Structure 1
Amino acid sequence: MSALAEHVHLADSPAPAAGELRLRLLEPHDSRRWDAYVDQCPQATFFHRAGWQRVLRQAFGHRTWFYYVERGGVIEGILPLGEVRSRVFGHWLGALPFCVYGGIAASSDAARAMLDQAAQALARQLGVGHLEYRHIARSHPGDPEWLVKPLYVTFRKAIVADDEQNMNAIPRKQRAMVRKGIKFGLQGEVDQDVGRFYAAYARSVHRLGTPVFSRRYFALLKETFGDDCEVRVITHNGELVAGVLSFFFRDQVLPYYGGGLDNARALAGNDFMYWNLMQASAARGMRVFDFGRSKLGTGAFDFKKNWGFEPEPLDYEVKLIGATAVPENNPLNPKYRLFIRMWQRLPLPVANMLGPHIVKNLG
Structure 2
Amino acid sequence: MWPAGRPFGHRPYFLYAETNGEIRGVLPLARQKSLLFGDALVSAPFCVYGGAAATEPDARTALEEAAVELGERLGVGHVEFRNLTPRRDDWVRRASYATFRKAIAAAPEQNLLAIPRKQRAEVRKGIDRGLVAHAGGEPDACWELYARSVHRHGTPVYARRYFRDLASAFGADCEFFFVRREGRPVASLLSFYFRDEVLPYYAGSDRAGRDGEVHPFMYWSLMNHAAARGARRFDFGRSPVGSGGYAFKKNFGFEPQPLAYEYHLVRGKHAPDADPKSPKYALVVNTWRRLPRWLANRLGPWAARQIG
Q: Shorter-normalised TM-score: what interval?
A: over 0.9
Match of 1:80 among 28, 32, 39: 28
Match of 1:272 among 202, 217, 233: 217
- Aligned partner of 2:262 in structure 1 is 317
State how 1:298-337 maps to structure 2 within 5 Å. 298-337=243-282
Unaligned runs of 5+ in 2: none
CA contact (8 A) 2:192 2:198 kept: yes
Query: How large is the RMSD of aligned CA atoms in angstroms?
Result: 1.2
How far apart are the structure 1 equivalents of 2:149 and 2:116? 25
Q: Structure 1 residue 110 and structure 2 residue 110: aligned?
A: no
CA contact (8 A) 1:156 1:290 kept: yes
- Aligned partner of 2:163 in structure 1 is 218
Give the secondary structure class of the aligned counterpart of 2:48. coil
How far apart are the structure 2 equivalents of 1:66 and 1:152? 26
CA contact (8 A) 1:86 1:361 kept: yes
- Aligned partner of 1:205 in structure 2 is 150
How far apart are the structure 2 equivalents of 1:359 and 1:139? 29
Shift of 1:209: 0.6
Shift of 1:284: 1.0
Shift of 1:192: 4.2
Structure with larger RCO (C-alpha < 8 A, sep 6+): 2
CA contact (8 A) 2:100 2:249 kept: yes
- Aligned partner of 1:45 in structure 2 is none
1:352 counterpart letter in structure 2 = N
Unaligned runs of 5+ in 1: 1-51
2:194 counterpart letter in structure 1 = F
Query: Residues 33-70 of structure 1: CA distance to partner in whole angstroms, max 9, x if unpaired?
Result: xxxxxxxxxxxxxxxxxxx2x21111101101111112
1:262 counterpart letter in structure 2 = R
Q: Structure 1 residue 92 and structure 2 residue 40: aligned?
A: yes
CA contact (8 A) 1:184 1:267 kept: no
- Aligned partner of 1:290 in structure 2 is 235
Report the TM-score when normalising by structure 1. 0.83
Greater strand share, 1 or 2? 2
Q: Which deviates the most, 65-74 or 289-298?
A: 65-74
Report the TM-score when normalising by structure 2. 0.97
How far apart are the structure 1 equivalents of 2:290 and 2:197? 38
Q: Structure 1 residue 123 and structure 2 residue 68: aligned?
A: no
CA contact (8 A) 1:181 1:272 kept: yes
Moved over 4 A (4+): none
- Aligned partner of 1:66 in structure 2 is 14
Shift of 1:283: 0.9
Report how many residues are paired.
308
Shift of 1:233: 1.1
Give the secondary structure class of the aligned counterpart of 1:60. coil
2:202 counterpart letter in structure 1 = Y
CA contact (8 A) 1:243 1:258 kept: yes
Q: Percent identity?
A: 49
Give the secondary structure class of the aligned counterpart of 2:83. coil
